[in-house]
Every structure is written in C-alpha cells, then in structure tokens.
C-alpha cells in the first residue's frame, strides 16, 4: 500500500484531534488456564473447549489478587518501557467494565495501588467492553482543551470472578488481564481522525450482570445468579451483525478515509467467530488484524488496549499508517476510532 504524508490524512478528517500514544503496557495474573484443563472442569471430552471457544489458554486470577493491583502493574509497565516519570501523569482514567466495588470508583483504588503521586486527578469511564476507545477519545479532548498534559488510561478486568459455570457459552471464553496506554498531545502529526459511538437499547438485556447496583441489592431483592455474567450469544451476534454495516460507513465517512487506507485493525477480542467475521467484513489480512484471542480470551474492556499493546510491540502501529480500534459492548453499544499513530 502507498504511504501518504500525515497531513494528507489529517486534512481529510472532519474533526482531527491531535494525540500521541507514547507508551503501552500490560499485566497478566499468574494463573494460566488451558482449554484441556477446562475440559476436565466442565466434564467435557478432550478438545471440546478448544474447538468451541477457539482459545488455547487464558489467564484466571486467584481470589487473592486485587483488581487495582493488576491495573497498577500494567500502568507501571507502560511507565517503565519508555522511562516515563510517574509524577508526569496528571490524570489517571480507569476504563474498565467491572468494578472493584460500588464506591468509591475504580480509578481511586488504582491510584492507591500505583506509584503515581497522591492527589493525582482520577476518573472512571465505563462503556463495558469498549470503555478504552471512549476513554481515549475523552483523553484527546481533555488534552486539547488544556486541562491535562499527559494522561494514563488503564483497563483491568477480573472477568473470572463473575463467570457462570453453568453457562457453557460464556464460561469458556473469558480471561483476566490489564493494559495501559499513556497519551499526550504530541507534535500534531498524530491523533484521532474519527470517533463514533452508538447505543442500541434493543440489545440491553442480551449481555448483563444485574447485581452490584441499585437494581438488585439487599433492599430491592437479589439472588446469587444476579452477580454472574449472562449472555444470549446468538441473538446478540445477530443484532450486532445487522447494525455494524451502517456504523462502519459513518465511522469511515468521518475520517475521510477508505477501508483500504487502514493498515492495522485492532478489534475487541470478543470471540474467534467475531474476529473472523471482522476480518472478512473488512477484507484485511491475518497480519493486519490484531488477534490475541487464542492466548487471552475475551478480557472485556482490557481486550482492546491489550491488542493495541500487541500492535505496538510487533511494529504494527506505526506513523503514517492509519489504525482502527473497533468493538461492540453490552448496551448494545458500538464504538470505533480511526487513529493516526
């Protein structure tokens, strides 16, 4: 593919937001769970879980690991990789779907566990599995308003804590993990070419955890299963598939680019079937599509920044090469972003 100069891409975008990702990092729990081990746990024949889930292994934390500690490990990894001073971060955003607890919010817990100075500003962004994309757009807006200079965005999930082992469909696919991206304004030659988010409430009940808020609690009534993950996979996939085409069209129109201009696609690692559907829909090569699903599973909101980190360390996130972040989430919510690294 012919590589254009940055300003040619920037001039085509309707609303360009200067932003530079200066470092990324990841963290994983110690516990690695293979599909063979899941076969035994679920009382299935050898090879069943691998065939159904498409995952060779995923990571599940033990019950002693704190979600905020895992997030802090990913943050520290991002700081260390490019020798970034902790006191240069003036805002910490937690972009996770799952909470440490109802109150206070997750970013406060992560700050406490991290090496960042106390009093650092913190906030949460929760759009389920696409939280990172929304947080990245917010970070770009805040930096360009002059409110902050350098922002760390962290997504950390312990999805294994909410698995319903009686639900075969979802119990096989989720993994734990954390990832971080550190961003600043940069020199204006990189940034967000387009961002789009849509919520279609026709799918609001197709993917949910009811407990943990005001809907199902000690006062309103609750049962144990309210605190476990429930997903209706087939209708969810059908609804998402029917809506993705117009969403993609809008996202590309906002960027001013064509699909063939996109060099790297960084999708939510929802399932092996969704990744294959995405590859065929976008007509991209295996090399262009960042796929870490086979060795991580679905890490909820940590999936996209973990895949971004993989793109960075494998030299598939480079200047002059537009990249797409894309995913669906409970809601039913779509989020997408075209980035110029």
- Which residues are CB-contacts of 249 (< 8 A; sequence separation ≥ 6)? none
Phi, psi of 195 (to 5 degrees): -145, 140
Closest CA to 292 of 28, 68, 108: 28
Reported as type and span, the H/E element at residue 338 is strand 333-340
The pLDDT, as a whole number, for residue 286 is 86
Domains and CATH numbers, the chain: 6-13+191-340 (3.40.47.10), 19-184 (3.40.47.10)
Residues 6+ apart with CB under 8 A from 254: 13, 14, 15, 193, 194, 195, 196, 338
* HSE-up of residue 290 (Cα within 13 Å, Cβ side): 29
Name the band, by pLDDT with cuts 50, 70 and 90, for residue 275. very high
Other beta carbons less than 10 A from residue 11's beta carbon: 10
Greatest alpha-carbon pair distance for the chain in Å reads 62
Residue 249: pLDDT above 90?
yes
Residues 6+ apart with CB under 8 A from 306: 26, 177, 179, 269, 292, 296, 299
Mean pLDDT of the chain: 95
Q: Which residue has the tokens 């197709």?
A: 206
Q: Stretch 120-124: mean pLDDT, rounded?
A: 98
Lowest mean pLDDT among 243-252, 279-288, 307-316: 279-288
Please give the residue that has the higher pLDDT: either 281 or 232: 232
Report the distance separating Cα 304 and Cα 204, nearest Å. Answer: 21
Nearest Cα residue to 244 out of 203, 305, 294, 290: 203
42-to-49, 158, 175, 266 alpha-carbon distances in Å:
9, 20, 16, 31
> Is the Cβ–Cβ distance between 89 and 182 less than 8 Å?
yes
Say if CB 24 and CB 308 are below 8 A apart: yes
CB 161 within 8 A of CB 62: no
The whole-number pLDDT of residue 54 equals 97
Question: Which of 68-72, 158-162, 209-213, 266-270 comes out lowest in average pLDDT?
Answer: 209-213
Q: Are strands 91-94 and 17-18 parallel, antiparallel or unpaired?
A: unpaired
Q: What is the share, in percent, of the chain residues with pLDDT greater than 70?
A: 98
Length of the chain: 341
Contact 134, 197 (CB under 8 A): yes
> How many whole angstroms separate alpha carbon 28 and alpha carbon 30?
7
Residue given tokens 């090879």 in the structure block: 47
Measured between alpha carbons, how far is residue 271 from residues 66, 111, 175, 277 in Å?
A: 26, 31, 12, 10
The structure's pTM equals: 0.96
Residue 210 has pLDDT above 80, yes or no: yes
Distance of alpha carbon 93 from alpha carbon 181, whole angstroms? 10
Residue 25 · residue 75 · CB < 8 Å = yes
Rounded Cα gap, residues 115 and 180, in angstroms: 14
């Amino acid at each position: 593919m012919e590589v254009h100069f940055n300003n040619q891409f920037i001039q085509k975008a309707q609303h360009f937001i200067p932003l530079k990702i200066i470092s990324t990092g990841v963290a994983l729990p110690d516990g690695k769970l293979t599909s063979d081990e899941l076969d035994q746990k679920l009382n299935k024949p050898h090879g069943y879980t691998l065939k159904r889930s498409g995952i060779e292994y995923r990571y599940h934390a033990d019950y002693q690991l704190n979600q905020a500690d895992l997030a802090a490990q990913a943050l520290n990894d991002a700081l260390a990789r490019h020798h970034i001073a902790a006191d240069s971060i003036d805002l910490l955003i937690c972009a996770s779907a799952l909470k440490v607890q109802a109150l206070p919010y997750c970013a406060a817990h992560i700050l406490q566990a991290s090496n960042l100075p106390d009093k650092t500003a913190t906030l949460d962004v929760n759009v389920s599995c696409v939280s990172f994309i929304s947080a990245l757009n917010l970070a770009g807006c805040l930096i360009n308003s002059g409110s902050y200079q350098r922002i760390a965005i962290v997504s950390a999930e312990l999805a294994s804590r909410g698995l319903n082992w009686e639900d075969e469909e979802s119990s096989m696919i989720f993994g734990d993990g954390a990832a971080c991206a550190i961003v600043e304004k940069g020199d204006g030659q990189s940034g967000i070419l387009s961002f789009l988010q849509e919520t279609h409430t026709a799918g609001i009940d197709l993917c949910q955890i009811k407990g943990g808020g005001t809907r199902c609690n000690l006062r309103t009534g609750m049962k144990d299963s309210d605190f476990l993950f429930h997903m209706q996979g087939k209708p969810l996939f059908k609804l998402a598939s029917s809506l993705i085409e117009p969403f993609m069209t809008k996202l590309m129109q906002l960027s001013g680019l064509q699909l063939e201009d996109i060099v790297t696609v960084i999708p939510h690692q929802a399932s092996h079937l969704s990744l294959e559907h995405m590859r065929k829909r976008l007509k991209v090569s295996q090399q262009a599509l960042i796929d870490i699903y086979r060795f991580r599973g679905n890490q909820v909101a940590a999936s996209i920044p973990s895949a971004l980190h993989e793109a960075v360390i494998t030299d598939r996130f480079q200047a002059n090469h537009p990249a797409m972040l894309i995913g669906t989430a409970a809601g039913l919510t779509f989020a997408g972003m075209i980035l110029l690294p």
